[in-house]
């Protein structure tokens, strides 16, 4: 799920990320949600630091939880799942211990892997101001009461989430933060934005900059001397 105020998110993925086969009815009920990313090895016993993309780690990251791995196709982990043994906290950082990851060398092969889970598309979050991607895609984007486009998709970046808004002039990236996206009304189908100047259109040139550009370039000593000779000629 995606939250406009903190960096937490989940998003649907294509079947190519998950190699398991499901029937059509299961596809209608479930989708893959991104809940975390393995960042780097921690210690010598196979522990891995985690960046969490869920508002409820106590429910998502329990012993026995199984995650689908998103890794490069050349990785030995491609197409596999991984099972959590234990989640611990060190200096407020989440650290996971996983089955079949016994040492640091193995843990290092999982660095930057994305963790996904199957979730019911009808599941609703108890968190205020938190939404799944499928709830936001297609909503109208309004600025000052004027519709500027619709949400085409979301991009989940390490620092923050981005709304990709389809406008008549092309796609625009809107940081999904409270200061810029103060209101999301899923029932009304409207997302209200208050973008800073320059985010949606080019700013007019500053008159002071234009005046500075109009100033003639300094005359070199050679050019000055040549000009003086021309002036002194009878």
Supply 196's token pair: 């800073």
Domain 131-192 bears CATH identifier 3.40.1010.20:
no
Tens of each residue's pLDDT in the chain, 234 residues: 565 543 333 333 333 344 333 344 444 445 677 888 999 999 999 999 999 887 778 888 999 999 999 999 999 999 999 999 999 999 888 999 999 999 999 999 999 999 998 876 555 555 555 677 788 999 999 999 999 999 999 887 656 788 999 999 899 999 998 899 999 998 899 999 999 888 887 645 555 555 555 554 555 555 555 555 555 555
What number of CA atoms fall less than 13 Å from residue 202's CA on the CB side?
Answer: 4
Distance, in Å, from the CA atom of 189 to the CA atom of 151, rounded to the nearest integer, reads 10
Q: Which CATH class is domain 28-125?
A: mainly beta
Domain boundaries, given as residue ranges, for the chain: 28-125, 131-192
């Amino acid at each position: 799920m995606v939250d406009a105020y903190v960096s937490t998110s989940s998003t649907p993925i294509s079947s190519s990320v998950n190699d398991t086969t499901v029937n059509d009815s299961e596809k209608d009920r479930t989708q893959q949600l991104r809940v975390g990313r393995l960042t780097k090895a921690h210690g010598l016993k196979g522990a891995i630091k985690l960046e969490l993309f869920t508002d409820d780690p106590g429910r998502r990251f329990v012993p026995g939880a199984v995650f689908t791995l998103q890794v490069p196709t050349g990785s030995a982990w491609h197409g596999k799942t991984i099972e959590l043994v234990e989640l611990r906290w060190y200096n407020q950082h989440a650290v996971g211990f996983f089955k079949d990851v016994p040492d640091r060398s193995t843990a290092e092969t999982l660095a930057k892997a994305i963790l996904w889970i199957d979730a019911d598309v009808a599941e609703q979050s108890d968190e205020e101001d938190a939404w799944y991607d499928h709830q936001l895609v297609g909503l109208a984007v309004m600025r000052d009461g004027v519709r500027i486009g619709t949400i085409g998709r979301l991009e989940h970046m390490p620092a923050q989430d981005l709304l990709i808004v389809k406008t008549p002039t092309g796609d625009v990236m809107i940081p999904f933060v409270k200061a810029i996206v103060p209101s999301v009304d899923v029932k009304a189908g409207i997302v209200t934005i208050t973008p800073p100047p320059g985010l949606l259109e080019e700013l007019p040139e500053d008159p002071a900059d234009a005046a500075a550009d109009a100033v003639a370039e300094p005359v070199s000593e050679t050019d000055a001397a040549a000009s003086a000779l021309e002036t002194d000629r009878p």
